[in-house]
Amino acid sequence: MEMVPDTSNLDPIVLELGQLFADAGYELSLVGGPVRDLYLGRISPDLDFTTNATPDEILSVGKKWADSHWEMGRAFGTIGFRKRNHNLDVLLIEVTTYRAEAYDPESRKPEVAFGASLEDDLQRRDFSVNAMALRLPSLELVDPYGGAVDLAAGLLRTPGTPQQSFSDDPLRMMRAARFASQLGFDVHPDVRAAMTDMAERISIISAERVRDELVKLICGAHPRAGIDILVETGLAELVLPEVPALQLETDEHHRHKDVYQHSLQVLEQAAQLESGPDGPVPGPDFVLRFAALMHDVGKPKTRRFEPGGAVSFRHHDLAGAKLTAKRMKALRFDNDSIKAVSRLVELHMRFYGYGEAGWSDSAVRRYVTDAGPLLERLHLLTRSDVTTRNQRKADRLSFAYDDLEARIASLAEREELDSIRPDLDGQAIMAMLNLSPGPVVGRAYKYMLEQRMEQGPLDAAAAEAALRQWWSQQPESVPAPEAGEDAAVQEY
């Protein structure tokens, strides 16, 4: 089936800028992802252009036209502009001089050389579906590498040989997996073979660039496909080794499920449970999805074959949380993301005690408090972790979690579960016990928090009585002199 780009979706600003460059005597073409998305009926948030103008000439043409500009990419031939369109939406525009770039085998930074033509520029791009351009303002399609045909086939190929493409920029191997996730495309066998042969080349790419591609992959519409490609080509061994390690050897009696396939299914199910923009966990949510992928990475380290023939993975949740945090640090994730994902991994088994024995109100409060702002994500992760084919077991776990959520809602109506605090704060504790700030106040606060967890909210009198009872048993407690007793005698 032949596909054609739907240029009716183009913002008039695109043609306006094209005419501006033509009037100045320069070529300008819309290129790459925005052109691909016209075929797919999508609107790109950013607009990428290429031109025969130099960076200085680009700036000269666009500076007065744009609302603002930036030059951070000047060394790579790129000048950026911001421009409000007729709907007052802010468009981000990047205009880049025709170029070719390649990596030195030992360098993480590309060597940039400006190219002579649009066709030369398109040849250096990652995949044929991104190597199409629309000349402006004529809207002539330039597609020398069959990108439209590949789009129709849902196939990722490189404009030149994949070996040359991946040698020029090894990150393109990660992009292949990312586009498979985002677009649902297959990777051409030649491209897949080159990725497998050249996987080691990814080691010259900075952790930050690898991280950014991984985030886009995880947040794609088909993350399972993207992860599978990373694992099958050997790239995951280098960028996310905990995931291929989930492919545990199955013992001859098949006494445990395929942990790798289970994890991919949990990832898929978690993505399906995400809410719309106004829901509790708007999708795509990287924290939830990555926790779903990594939730069992502690199993290879903790697997034990028990004397009776069973297989156990004791404390794999704790081991997995540590492995997840270590990997995310290596990939230069921010601290908040690291803490959130590893905490979800740590907590993902907590519910199963409820399903087996039921919980007191105290245990429910602890569950909510330990999850904190991650509670809604923990709900979805726990529900996603059910992949059994035994429908009765699946229904039983689902009903149990329904009951737990109902318990949480019921307690929340009576108590402020999302911000549990002791009935007495530090100031009140110091005033009642005549203490100065210090570790004793911290111990008292912790005790009162335990009371709040165990008994729920206490009135003022009960809270003070509990505190004084605790204080009477502490070594720092000194009995007050009895009425009429001489203080000096008491001291003696």
* Residue-by-residue DSSP string for 263-326: HHHHHHHHHHH-B-TTSSSBSS-HHHHHHHHHTTTTHHHH-EE-TTS-EE-TTHHHHHHHHHHH
Structure confidence by residue, pLDDT tens digits, 336-391: 999 999 999 999 999 987 766 678 888 888 898 889 899 999 999 999 999 988 89
List, in sequence order, every residue forming a beta bridge with 31; answer none if it has no partner: 133
Handedness of CA 64, 66, 72, 75 (dihedral sign): negative
Task: Give residue 356's pLDDT.
Answer: 66
Are 12 and 84 within 8 A, CB to CB? no
CA distances 29 to 84, 140, 380, 458, Å, are 20, 9, 45, 70
Q: How much is the average pLDDT of 325-342?
A: 98
Reference 428, options 414, 456, 448; nearest CA is 448
Bigger pLDDT: 426 or 71? Answer: 71
Query: Residue 21 and residue 370: Cα distance in Å, rounded?
Result: 58
Domains 1-149 and 154-240 share a fold: no
- Mean of the per-residue pLDDT values of the chain: 88
> Residue 462 pLDDT > 70, yes or no?
yes
pLDDT at 46: 82
Q: What is the C-alpha separation between 123 and 160, in angstroms, rounded?
A: 7
At 84, is the pLDDT very low, low, confident or very high (cuts 50, 70, 90)?
very high
Of all residues in the chain, the percent with pLDDT exceeding 90 is 60
User: Averaged over 176-205, what is the pLDDT?
Assistant: 97
Give the whole-angstrom CA distance, residue 139 versus residue 12.
12
Number of Cα atoms under 13 Å in the Cβ half of residue 206: 8
Q: Between 233 and 446, where is the model more confident?
A: 233
**Residue 426, pLDDT above cutoff 50:** yes
CB 97 within 8 A of CB 114: yes
Nearest residue to 155 via CA among 123, 202, 189: 189
Sign of CA dihedral 367, 372, 376, 382: negative
pLDDT at residue 488 above 50? no
The domain segmentation of the chain, as residue ranges, is: 1-149, 154-240, 268-419, 426-472
Looking at the DSSP bridge assignments, the partners of residue 178 are none
154-240 CATH, one of 3.40.1710.10, 3.40.50.920, 2.130.10.30, 1.10.110.30? 1.10.110.30
Q: Which range among 37-41, 100-104, 437-441 shows the weakest confidence by mean pLDDT?
A: 100-104
Side-chain half-sphere exposure of 152, counting CA atoms within 13 A: 8
pLDDT score for 480 = 47
Whether the per-residue pLDDT at 87 is higher than 90: the answer is no
Other CB atoms closer than 10 Å to residue 378's CB: what's the count?
Answer: 22
Beta-bridged to residue 400, according to DSSP, are none
CA dist 121 and 140 (Å) reads 16
Over 80: is that where the pLDDT of 112 sits?
Answer: no
pTM assigned to the model? 0.81
Residue environment code for 296-306, b if the CB has 16+ CB neighbours within 10 A, otherwise e: bbbbbebbeee
Whole-angstrom CA distances from 251 to 304, 305, 314, 318, 421 are 12, 10, 18, 24, 49
Superfamily of domain 1-149: Beta Polymerase, domain 2 (3.30.460.10)
CA separation for the pair 434, 167 (Å, rounded) = 71
